[in-house]
Structure 1
Amino acid sequence: MRASIATLALAGVLACASPLAAAEAINVPAPDFTLESRSGENLRLQDHRGEVVMLNFWASWCGPCRQEMPLMDELYSQYKDLGFTILAVNVDENRDEAHRFLDKVPVNYPILYDPESSVSELYEVQAMPTTVMIDRNGNARYLHYGYQPGYEDEYEQQIRELVRE
């Protein structure tokens, strides 16, 4: 029951947020999920409780994703030792497209696959990329739609805030 309430609360926030907004401040429980990772193991969001998680939804056809992902990799390298991780959820139906993308834009953080868009639907993803910043207690705190140069500065500010809590 609690998961469905959290899902409804997050969906309501996502549905009301403007797709043109760089970020929305929110504070609702992030719905749990499990997806297969690029390494072949299943990763569960709940297993990252105690860490700050940048949950990023992306696609191989997304030009802004191509710009954003190397910058996210820099943030991952800089803050991973402070209890920060990135879970990048690929929404392509064909995993080979994601692999071709990652050959050109390599990253060191975990890549997850959501070919049926079940997690994307759970989070009511409306734009590519979509990023949700999740605090150590499992609460979605910030929501970002799209990417434009400079958003990484806002990401870093939010990461710093959340790792200090």
Structure 2
Amino acid sequence: MKKRTVFGFKAFLTGLMLVACSTLSAADKVAAPDFTLKSLTGENLRLSDFRGQVVLLNFWASWCGPCRQEMPILDEIHKKYEPLGFAVLGVNVDLKSEKAIDYLRGTPVKFPILLDPKSKVSEQYSVSAMPSTAIIDRDGNVRYVHAGYKTGDEEKYKNKIKELMRE
């Protein structure tokens, strides 16, 4: 039964990630798969440790132009909303973590960067485009997904973050 649930969730998220963006209602109750990844600081971080906060989970790679464009914007969003119970988690999928480290030397961010060089977590979330973003509510449910990035998408993120923080 568990495999069926995971397969169903993967198929569901795959469908969502294939569209530009999708909003899920609270009634949908699609639980975000929990995971633990090593951060750039060397500590292991677990998604469930952020329960009670709204979380923007962003999958990115150093070779991805739109990811590079989006990164400073995500840092600004993180700085603005973190005091209100919000977190950004950047999940880097580069095969070699050094590439992410090199990029971040020139574009430092304050939010945690997690390393997923074998793409295990991105597989759990059925990531099919770079960057890909999931916004998770305080109860740990995926409520919004977005594939890709173009200027202006951050307004969609901010609107969803504010909506979920009001719940």
Give the TM-score category using the shorter length. Answer: over 0.9
1:17 aligned counterpart, secondary structure = helix
* Equivalent of 1:25 in 23, 35, 39: 23
The answer (yes or no) to whether the contact 1:22–1:151 under 8 Å persists in 2 is no
Match of 1:163 in 2: 165
Amino acid at match of 1:43: L
Aligned pair in 2 of structure 1 residues 82, 2: CA closer, same or farther (>3 Å)? farther
Match of 1:142 in 2: 144
Amino acid at match of 1:8: F
1:55 aligned counterpart, secondary structure = strand
Aligned pair in 2 of structure 1 residues 4, 50: CA closer, same or farther (>3 Å)? farther
The count of residues paired between Structure 1 and Structure 2 equals: 163
Match of 1:84 in 2: 86
Aligned pair in 2 of structure 1 residues 4, 41: CA closer, same or farther (>3 Å)? farther
- Note the C-alpha offset of 1:22: 2.9
Distance (whole Å) between structure 2 residues aligned to residue 159 and residue 3 of structure 1 = 31
Match of 1:128 in 2: 130
Q: Deviations over 1:30-81 (max 9, x none)?
A: 0000000011100000111100000000000000011101011110000001
Match of 2:10 in 1: 11
Amino acid at match of 2:22: E
- Percent identity of paired positions between Structure 1 and Structure 2: 53
Distance (whole Å) between structure 2 residues aligned to residue 81 and residue 14 of structure 1 = 30
TM-score by length of 2: 0.92
Once structures 1 and 2 are overlaid, which stretch shifts more, 42-51 or 9-18?
A: 9-18
Q: How does 1:61-100 map to 2 (within 5 A)?
A: 61-100=63-102
| Cα RMSD, aligned residues only | 1.6
2:41 aligned counterpart, secondary structure = coil
Aligned pair in 2 of structure 1 residues 78, 18: CA closer, same or farther (>3 Å)? closer
* Equivalent of 1:34 in 30, 33, 36: 36
Aligned pair in 2 of structure 1 residues 113, 18: CA closer, same or farther (>3 Å)? closer
TM-score by length of 1: 0.93
